[in-house]
Structure 1
Amino acid sequence: MKSIFAAIALSLAMVGASAAASVTNKDDQSHILIITEGSTKVEVVVEAGASALVCPAGCFVTMPSGDRETLSGEETIEIINGNAVIK
């Protein structure tokens, strides 16, 4: 029974993650993104060379440069030299 619940939870997580924005940090240092969803703000640390999934349902993101962007949850973002490039 536990394996059924685990499989369902994993399936739901993969569905949610597939619609999230992808952030890849191509710099040699970590960067902090501030994610705002509704009235909730969360800091997400993206380590050097790492990737993260954010904003599955859309959000506002404050980038390392201080710029603020609106994301729908389907973007691909690369952090290069401290600047975010949205594709």
Structure 2
Amino acid sequence: MTSIPVERLKIEAEAMSQAGYFVDALAKFIGTVGANDPELCEQALDGYVVGGLAAGLRLIGTELMIRGDEFARLIAKSESAGGGAK
């Protein structure tokens, strides 16, 4: 039976948390600018900027999904190894 090091689980959880923090902060930033100054938001978020943001969010989202899947596998492996990570 193989146990999963707790440190590895912590690294994966932290990476997912940081990616979620980034996405949430970006959404709040865009929402605040849009609510406070819709014209500025429209100027700032031209096609180039929106395209770049979308590309970055896709990359972050993909990485978050991969890490989430890996985290779920690590947890399942830990559980099947006899209960809990070490």
TM-score (norm 2): 0.28
Report the structure, 1 or 2, having the larger strand content: 1
Larger helix fraction of residues? 2
Which structure would you say has the larger Rg? 2
TM-score of the aligned structures, taking structure 1 as reference length: 0.27
